[in-house]
Structure 1
């Protein structure tokens, strides 16, 4: 079995990779803590201990990760603390939520297509619009295929 040091180093490597992809550092470290824990749920104190920071410093990160749709607040009988757990479908939920951003981009691009006449700018904007429209239309199909694969169902 892997030791605690290796687990923490792997968690920090994941967090650094997420930071490199544009995520805030504490949010990335919080996601990594949830990914690497063997516990069903974590409190702010658990996160602070795992990350080596104060419990207060994780509250904003927990809020951000919850807003992303990756974790949820749960009730734990007999505990007075707030507990959070990672959602089973966190990654497909996050992937699906990103469509709202793409929808906004598409609206802006469509205005651009309408605002310019034929030419290079029109070609660029049309290509961008068509590409993101394709992605939005294909995403639900990909998520469903992934879920069927995870359940062990044959490909159709």
Structure 2
């Protein structure tokens, strides 16, 4: 790492542990955490590797994962020929849209299950009906978040 360990480094580690708690790899979480608190807000793979004490290969694999999830984007830095990465603006709001999409997919799965159990007694269908009701509610709420977010930001 360059220089001494800071609270920012600790924070990046905490985000990595948070990711790991959900069964995700730790290094992409650490990188995401670092990109939330680093200065400048864009970092080269070399900077990320040095600051987080990981290999360039680990950074490369983690960036591919973060890029697939639209969490990061490449940026051009004047005077540098290196690739730089930053947290993609709008990422957090897009997370809500992705959750709405996932909820809608679960609704389809529940409906498919209900079709399979079309002739089953109501108590056999109840689990799927409950799943469908919950995911319908979640989809509607997630879809409403964008409007609420912009209203909140205006205040």
Q: TM-score range by the shorter chain?
A: 0.7 to 0.9
Question: Which stretches in structure 1 are left out of the alignment for 5+ residues?
Answer: none
User: How far, CA to CA, are the matches of 1:58 and 1:49 in structure 2?
Assistant: 10
Indicate conservation of the 8 Å contact 1:70/1:94, yes or no. no
Moved over 6 A (4+): none
The equivalent of 2:9 in structure 1 is 8
Question: Which stretches in structure 2 are left out of the alignment for 5+ residues?
Answer: none
* Residues 47-58 of structure 1 mapped to structure 2, 5 A cutoff: 47-58=48-59
User: How far, CA to CA, are the matches of 1:68 and 1:98 in structure 2?
Assistant: 12
* RMSD, aligned CA: 1.8
User: How far, CA to CA, are the matches of 1:70 and 1:151 in structure 2?
Assistant: 25
Change (3 A) 1:87 1:127: same
1:127 partnered with 2:130: yes
- Give the secondary-structure state (helix, strand or coil) at the position aligned to 1:41: coil
Cα deviation code 1:48-87 (max 9, x no counterpart):
0121011121111111111111111122222111111112
- Give the secondary-structure state (helix, strand or coil) at the position aligned to 2:74: strand
The equivalent of 1:41 in structure 2 is 42
The equivalent of 1:141 in structure 2 is 144
Larger RCO: 1 or 2 (CA < 8 Å, sep 6+):
2
User: How far, CA to CA, are the matches of 2:33 and 2:48 in structure 1?
Assistant: 10
Which has the larger displacement, 65-74 or 100-109? 100-109
Aligned length: 150
